[in-house]
Every structure is written in C-alpha cells, then in structure tokens.
C-alpha cells in the first residue's frame, strides 16, 4: 500500500531554536519557516496559496493605486511601545496613508542573521501580524534571506505596500498656500527619544514610550470631516522630525511656514530628556503622528476630527503657511522672540527605524 503521508518533519523549534543558513536556502527548512511562522501568523488566503506572488483584486472604479516601500534597521529591535515588526508595518502603512490612500496590502522582506533566536523572530512576526490587523492591512507576500553571522544585525525588514486612493483625494507636498493652517496630531519626539533612552547607558526616571502606530485611521477621520480639497498636505514626521517635514513642505510648495512654539505639543518627559541631551524635540523622529496642512477655513473642523480620534487627543494647530520666496520656516518662541527652524543638518541618531 502506497502512503500519501508526507515524511515526518520535526516542528520548528520556536522556543530554543536559532536561525541557520538553511532557513534562507530555498529548501525544506525555509518552507517550514514560512509555513509554520509567517503563513500562520499573517493568516490570509493570498499568502496561504504558497505561490511566488499574491493575486489581488483590482481597485474600485475611479480609484488609483498608491505604492510605497520602507526598510527597517532599528536598533534595539525591541523598545518601549513597539519593535521592528510593528514599526515595519506602521512605516509603510503611514507612507500610504499620508498619500491619502487606504492601505490594503503589504509585502514583507526579511533579512535574518544566522544565529538569531527563533523565539525573538516569532515575537516580531506576531507583533507584525497584530499591527497589520489593527491597521486593516494584509501581509500577502514575502521573502526570507539569511546572512552569515556578523553580516547582519539580527533582523532587517523591508515592507512594500499598496493602497487605494479614492477619487478626489490629492494631498501633496507642493500644495501648501499662504494662509493655510498647520496642524499636528499629537506630541512630538516620542519615538526617537524612546529609542535613544533604550540605547547605550541612558536611563531616565520615567519611561518614554514610542508613539509607533498606524495613522490611516486619523487620515480617514480627517477626510470624513472636511472637504477632500481642503486637505493640502499630509505627512508623517519620521526621521528629522517636524523640522524636516515642514521644511520639505516649504521647499516643495515654494512658501514659508511660521510655527508657534507655545502651541507645539511635547510630552514633559521628552522635553526633559531633550534638555538633558541638548536635542531639539522638533528634530526628533515620530512614528505615529500626522502633520496636516489644510485650508484655514476648515482648520478647526480638521482639528476637532483629529482630537475626536483616540490617537489624536493632543492634536494642535501649530502654525500657518506664509508667503516667503526664500522658503524659510520660522518659529515664534515662547519667550517672545523669533528664530528659524532648519533642516536637520547631520544624522542626530542613526538606526531609529
């Protein structure tokens, strides 16, 4: 009697096992890693087919597709408020969301270092799955490579996403006009300071928690509250912080921007840590915040919509777009003076995302 039972394979040693070169070699070990870890955690029909790519439905009539990609090399891999897995989902989801799109699907590429504990990989994958569920996206295809020990740093994850852009939505960095209002969805600098506090030997009395989160919910709340055309620019102020984001907008739109320091929300523990280290919270990275430039007439409605969302309680109107051919960003200080807010000149802190 011929048997159809596949030969016995020992289940993946998720508790004590380690990544080895076989997990990226294309053979049985790699298939097992994909089946027992990734497919199980990400759990969706497109991935479960086990083919080389994902087959996806076409967008609705009138919708366009938006595509974005983001590589993640954060160190440490686990930090208060998140880990490289949730960050890899949020990074790409947010890139799609600030284009005005509804994020739908992600592809994930993993570069694993030989010797990396499978238990930690499982934790990262579970965190990715949870973040994807919360953001309403599916991880539908992926890739796994393994590099020799010393050639990586545990895990690097690249995610690529596709979203659908509803008709009428067209936010863009070049659309800010003098008179427009500048809003931010919450406190600034939380992610960068959380990473910094985790690193080296820096310990603060109160823990700083990363704001790593998907902003697509905030974006949908905005579009539900104000006319699509009133939303000129959406950005997530990641590396370089708010300072780089508003400078990008000023440069792309050919305008100046004037911020009001007293209105910019910063958590007290982040401000304290910044003071101690001589850093400016405006330069520190965020991973779950939204910068909105919108027509002044709709600024209060937009602000109310952000504040009504659970992730936007601390949202604030922080400034306005002004006419300035030099494209400078200025800040009215709490003290009553003025200064410029410039691009971040050099890397303040490598590998924060």
Token pair 């891999």 is found at: 77
DSSP three-state, residue 217: helix
Q: What x-and-dash track marks residues 248-287 binding other proteins by CB under 8 A?
A: --------------x-----x--xx--x-xx-x-------
Binding part of the chain for other proteins, among 9-17, 169-177, 194-202, 217-225 by CB under 8 A, reads 194-202
The minimum distance between CB 155 and other proteins, in angstroms, equals 24
d(CA 150, CA 13): 22
| 189 touches 270 (CB < 8 A) | yes
Identity of the residue, 44 or 252, whose beta carbon is nearer to other proteins in the bound complex: 252
Element (H, E) at 112: strand 102-113
Identity of the residue, 68 or 266, whose beta carbon is nearer to other proteins in the bound complex: 266
The minimum distance between CB 277 and other proteins, in angstroms, equals 8
The minimum distance between CB 115 and other proteins, in angstroms, equals 21
Identity of the residue, 78 or 343, whose beta carbon is nearer to other proteins in the bound complex: 343
The interface with other proteins within residues 35-94 (CB under 8 A) comprises none
Count of chain residues binding other proteins (CB under 8 A):
27
Q: Is 130 left (phi over 0), alpha (psi -120 to 50) or beta?
A: alpha
The minimum distance between CB 268 and other proteins, in angstroms, equals 5
The minimum distance between CB 330 and other proteins, in angstroms, equals 6
| 311 touches 317 (CB < 8 A) | no
Identity of the residue, 78 or 328, whose beta carbon is nearer to other proteins in the bound complex: 328
Cα radius of gyration rounded to whole Å, the chain: 22
Identity of the residue, 114 or 258, whose beta carbon is nearer to other proteins in the bound complex: 258
Establish if 346 lies at the interface with other proteins (CB under 8 A).
yes
Nearest to 99 by CA among 191, 161, 39, 54: 161
Identity of the residue, 266 or 305, whose beta carbon is nearer to other proteins in the bound complex: 266
d(CA 58, CA 65): 9
Eight-class DSSP state of 60: P
| 155 touches 121 (CB < 8 A) | yes
Identity of the residue, 167 or 334, whose beta carbon is nearer to other proteins in the bound complex: 334
Identity of the residue, 118 or 195, whose beta carbon is nearer to other proteins in the bound complex: 195
Establish if 203 lies at the interface with other proteins (CB under 8 A).
no
Token pair 């790699």 is found at: 30
User: 3-state SS string over 339-351?
Assistant: EECCCCCCCCCCC
Token pair 């890693």 is found at: 33
d(CA 147, CA 113): 5
Binding part of the chain for other proteins, among 195-203, 223-231, 232-240, 299-307 by CB under 8 A, reads 195-203
Nearest to 131 by CA among 174, 86, 178: 86
Identity of the residue, 63 or 324, whose beta carbon is nearer to other proteins in the bound complex: 324
Sign of the C-alpha dihedral, residues 295, 97, 244, 268? positive
The alpha carbon torsion through 85, 91, 96, 99 (nearest 10 deg) reads: 170
Establish if 345 lies at the interface with other proteins (CB under 8 A).
yes
Binding part of the chain for other proteins, among 65-73, 170-178, 306-314, 323-331 by CB under 8 A, reads 323-331
Binding part of the chain for other proteins, among 90-98, 215-223, 293-301, 320-328 by CB under 8 A, reads 320-328
Residues of the shown chain interacting with other proteins in the complex, contacts defined by CB under 8 A: 200-202, 262, 268, 271-272, 275, 277-278, 280, 326-328, 330, 332-340, 342, 345-346
């Amino acid at each position: 009697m011929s048997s159809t039972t596949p030969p016995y394979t020992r289940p993946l040693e998720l508790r004590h096992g380690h990544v080895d070169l076989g997990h990226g070699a294309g053979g049985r070990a790699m298939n097992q890693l994909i089946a027992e870890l990734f497919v199980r955690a990400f759990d969706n029909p497109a991935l479960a087919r086990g083919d080389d790519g994902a087959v996806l439905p076409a967008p609705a009539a009138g919708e366009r597709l938006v595509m974005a990609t983001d590589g993640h090399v954060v160190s440490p891999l686990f930090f208060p408020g998140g880990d490289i897995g949730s960050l890899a989902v949020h990074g790409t989801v947010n890139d799609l969301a600030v284009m005005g799109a509804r994020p739908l699907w992600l592809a994930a590429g993993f570069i694993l270092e030989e010797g990396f504990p499978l238990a930690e990989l499982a934790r990262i994958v579970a965190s990715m799955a949870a973040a994807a569920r919360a953001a309403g996206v599916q991880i539908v295809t992926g890739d796994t490579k393994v590099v020799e020990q010393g050639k990586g740093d545990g895990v690097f994850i690249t995610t690529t996403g596709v979203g659908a852009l509803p008709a009428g939505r067209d936010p863009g960095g070049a659309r800010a006009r003098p008179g427009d209002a500048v809003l931010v969805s919450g406190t600034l600098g939380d992610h960068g300071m959380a990473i910094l506090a985790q690193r080296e030997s820096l310990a603060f009395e109160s823990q700083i928690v990363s704001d790593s989160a998907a902003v697509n919910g905030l974006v949908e709340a905005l579009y539900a509250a104000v006319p699509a055309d009133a939303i000129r620019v959406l950005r997530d102020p990641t590396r370089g912080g708010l300072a780089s984001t508003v400078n990008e907008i000023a440069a792309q739109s050919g305008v100046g921007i004037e911020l009001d320091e007293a209105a910019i929300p910063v958590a007290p523990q982040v401000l304290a840590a910044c003071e101690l280290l001589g850093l400016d919270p405006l330069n520190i990275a965020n991973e779950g915040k939204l910068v909105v430039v919108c027509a002044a007439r709709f600024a209060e409605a937009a602000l109310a919509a952000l504040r009504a969302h659970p992730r936007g309680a601390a949202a604030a109107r922080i400034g306005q777009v002004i006419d300035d051919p030099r494209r400078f960003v200025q800040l009215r200080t709490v003290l009553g003076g003025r200064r410029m807010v410039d691009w971040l000149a050099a890397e303040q802190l490598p590998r924060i995302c």
